[in-house]
């Protein structure tokens, strides 16, 4: 009797739960339809068509799943075929408008009239914080961008970092054949780029401190793209805890450096990004205009991200393409093509500060918009047979393709300040890879000499 009652109660609870979910979904759909009807009427401009997906999660699961397929932009392509080049969706806790139109993307990047401000998924904003260089806008963003950009482009820095990159790459490649079984290229390139980047940012070399930084950073970065649920055991919760531990390490380095600089009688050239940010005082030399130490620490951590994801991915894909294409290997003309293919989930997130009208589309005030560069790079109207590795395509279209359709480093005010460093790392790595090893078949290499 007790078992029957407990089973009956379970079924009742399940029915109540299912009814609640369906009711919530119905309310969600009614709210979305009401919102859409309200904003779609604005002269000849219309809000892009699309689908909001399920309550709360929207279309997030399909968006994330597509990134792990052989064609990561299938999520965008499917909706593009249904709704057009600009469409509406709901991903990563945010209702957004997605643009796969290169002209619309260019207008968003140029941001004439300051119509847009940065607006990223909740998981990113939670992890990086309000002072992140991704989220700040206006004079402070320009100041940070200029400081780092000028430092990374300086002849003194480039001469020094070129030697350091070559040393790191040589030492790493030399150990590959010491690994008696398989070499996981992406793991190895992550080690290379992370070591280079922490030298550039914090002047830390190999050792216990770097290993601790890498361990905590790897845990932190796992939460950048996840469901924005901050509860014990969730991915976001674990990553936020790792961020606190990271900040503790970097805070100490920044504070120690500040104390050392105060004791120095003469100014020397900046050695790393911490030096650059600590010395800057804006347009005056007054202490109150200097960047806060916690602001510097947070942004130093953020600037580590390319060393863990984007540059290692480009290096790994370059090796794969060279293995698959002996003719390209012989000519080694792969950088631009690798960057185009490596840039598979790239884009910029913005929020409209006012109603913005672009090419017949209306982006209502307060709505977020994602300019998807990856979809443009993989569009066959822009590149013939886009998923094929064809470095000679650049000879067909010229060495300087339209900035609208080739944006591996973003553009406008948000052009990546580290683009030259990234190219330098990839170029040096590929040079030493092909001069250190001979590729045998599809999966074997042997050391030359």
pLDDT means over runs of 10, the chain (449 residues) = 49 57 57 54 77 86 86 92 95 89 90 81 88 86 92 92 95 81 86 94 93 94 87 95 96 95 82 93 61 94 84 89 82 68 70 90 91 92 89 73 79 84 91 82 70
- Dist. CA 283–CA 436, nearest whole Å: 48
* DSSP helix/strand/coil, 187: helix
Could you tell me if 97 and 87 are in contact, meaning their C-beta atoms sit under 8 angstroms apart? yes
Check residue 48 and give its pLDDT. 94
Closest residue by Cα to residue 174 from 442, 440, 426, 448: 448
Measured CA to CA, the distance from residue 273 to residue 204 in angstroms comes to 12
The pLDDT value recorded for residue 227 is 80
> Taking the complete model, does pTM exceed 0.85, yes or no?
no
Residue matched to tokens 């390490």? 249
pLDDT number for residue 95 = 86
Q: CA nearest 261: which of 246, 283, 276, 282?
A: 276
Position 4 scores a pLDDT of: 42
pLDDT at position 1 is: 43
CB 114 within 8 A of CB 351: no
The pLDDT value recorded for residue 5 is: 43
């Amino acid at each position: 009797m007790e078992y029957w009652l407990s089973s009956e109660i379970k079924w009742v609870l399940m029915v109540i739960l299912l009814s609640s979910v369906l009711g919530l979904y119905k309310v969600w759909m009614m709210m979305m339809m009401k919102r859409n009807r309200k904003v779609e009427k604005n002269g000849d401009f219309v809000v892009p068509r699309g689908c909001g997906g399920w309550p709360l999660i929207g279309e997030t699961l399909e968006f994330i799943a597509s990134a792990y397929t052989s064609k990561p932009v299938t999520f965008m392509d499917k909706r593009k075929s249904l709704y057009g080049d600009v469409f509406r969706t709901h991903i990563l806790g945010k209702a957004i408008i997605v643009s796969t139109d290169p002209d619309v993307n260019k207008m968003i990047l140029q941001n004439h009239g300051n119509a847009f401000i940065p607006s990223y998924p909740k998981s990113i904003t939670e992890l990086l914080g309000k002072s992140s260089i991704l989220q700040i806008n206006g004079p402070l963003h320009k100041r940070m961008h200029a400081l780092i950009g000028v430092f990374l482009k300086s002849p003194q820095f480039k001469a020094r970092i070129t030697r350091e990159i070559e040393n790191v790459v040589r030492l790493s490649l030399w150990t590959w054949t010491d690994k008696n079984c398989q070499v996981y290229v992406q793991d190895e390139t992550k080690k290379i780029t992370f070591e280079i980047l922490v030298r550039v940012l914090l002047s830390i070399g190999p050792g216990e401190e770097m290993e601790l930084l890498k361990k905590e950073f790897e845990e932190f970065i796992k939460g950048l793209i996840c469901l924005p649920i901050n509860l014990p055991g969730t991915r976001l919760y674990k990553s936020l805890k790792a961020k606190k531990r990271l900040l503790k390490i970097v805070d100490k380095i920044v504070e120690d450096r500040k104390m050392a600089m105060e004791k120095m009688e003469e100014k020397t050239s900046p050695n790393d990004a911490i030096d650059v940010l600590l010395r800057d005082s804006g347009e005056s030399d007054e202490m109150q205009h200097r960047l806060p130490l916690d602001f510097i620490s947070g942004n130093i951590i953020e600037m580590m991200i390319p060393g863990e994801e984007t540059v290692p991915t480009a290096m790994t894909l370059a090796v794969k393409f060279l293995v698959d294409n002996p003719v390209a290997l012989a000519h080694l003309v792969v950088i631009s093509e690798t960057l185009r293919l490596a840039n598979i989930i790239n884009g910029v997130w913005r929020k409209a500060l006012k109603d913005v009208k672009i090419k017949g589309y209306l982006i209502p005030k307060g709505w977020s918009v994602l300019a998807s560069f990856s979809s443009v790079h993989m569009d066959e109207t822009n590149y013939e047979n886009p998923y094929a590795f064809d470095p000679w395509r650049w000879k067909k279209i010229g060495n300087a393709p339209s900035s609208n359709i080739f944006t591996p480093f973003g553009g406008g005010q948000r052009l990546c300040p580290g683009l030259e460093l990234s190219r330098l790392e990839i170029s040096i790595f590929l040079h030493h890879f092909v001069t250190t090893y001979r590729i045998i078949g599809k999966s074997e290499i042997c050391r030359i000499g």
